[in-house]
Amino acid sequence: MRFRQLIKNLLSRDIMLILGLTIVLAMTLAALLAPIIAPYNPDVLHLDHILEPPSSLFWLGTDRLGRDILSRLLYGGRISLWVGFVSVSISISIGTILGMVSGYFSSWIDECIMRIVDIMLCFPSFFLILSVISFLEPNLTNIMVVIGLTSWMGVTRLVRAETLSLREREFISAARLAGSSILRILFFHILPNTLAPVLITATLGVAGAILTESSLSFLGLGVQPPTASWGNMLLDGKSVIETAPWLSLFPGLAILVTVLGYNLLGESLRDYFDPRLK
């Protein structure tokens, strides 16, 4: 009942939340149902329909090898969303654990963790990812792991700040007096009270991860052909953008709409959970 009431309050509060949630759900369903709704196999070559503009046969046109753009967009969405979810799960897990440990102990452990965070933040995140991925084989697993391992610092700082405040609260003191272990205090008392800001960060992080994967694929360091991703579809259309603009237009719109949806959803959740706006 509490969850249903929360959803009802959220939806009645902000039209931007409804729009963001609709976009996110639509893009996710389209990616999940790609094998069912895609009109063609994304890797099948239609050599008699090379660079064909949008038509009744190929709704979004074809590329330089005669492959259907719509089918490749749907399957590319599976790659982009998978990268977003997995990489954000990695970064959230690392950042949450380190943030709780750093904020709860607040000693030399805190100093060590925060100095590592400061060092990592000295490097622009995309160039850090770019430098690491250039030494590895450009495949999907490496991309997800590298993005996750280079984007946990903000979560650590956020969770640390929440933990510093929570550890002085009465219910934490009561848990200590009751003999609760440190692990129980961290994961059963502190962690549930940090989930709201972490959820917001994760939502915004998915959008950032999708942009990062698309950028890496556009530079040739991400998902490799013939596997479809929105980034390498943009790369395919770069050389023929004047004669076949649909090759770049539709992947660019897919990235734009998906990132916009996650940003609208994340910003709306942040506004809802911000006590200063209540």
Positions in the chain short of pLDDT 70: 1-14, 274-278
Let me know how long the chain is: 278
Our count of domains for the chain comes to 1
Position 184 in a domain: yes
d(C-alpha 210, C-alpha 68), whole Å: 22
Position 249 in a domain: yes
Position 85 in a domain: yes
Looking at residue 139, its pLDDT comes to 80
Looking at residue 189, its pLDDT comes to 85
Respond yes or no on whether the N-terminal peptide bond of residue 35 is cis (omega within 30° of 0). no
Convert the pLDDT of each residue in 47-79 to its tens digit: 888 888 888 889 998 988 889 999 999 999 999
Position 195 in a domain: yes
Position 8 in a domain: no
Q: What is the CATH number of the domain that holds 41?
A: 1.10.3720.10
Looking at residue 5, its pLDDT comes to 55
Range of the domain at 59: 16-277
Long-range (24+ apart) CB contacts under 8 A made by 137-143 are 138/216, 138/220, 138/221, 138/222, 138/223, 138/224, 139/223, 139/224, 140/79, 140/82, 140/83, 140/223, 140/227, 143/83, 143/87, 143/213, 143/216, 143/222, 143/223
Looking at residue 74, its pLDDT comes to 93
Coil, helix or strand for 70?
helix
Position 5 in a domain: no
Q: Amino acid identity, residue 250?
A: F
Position 4 in a domain: no
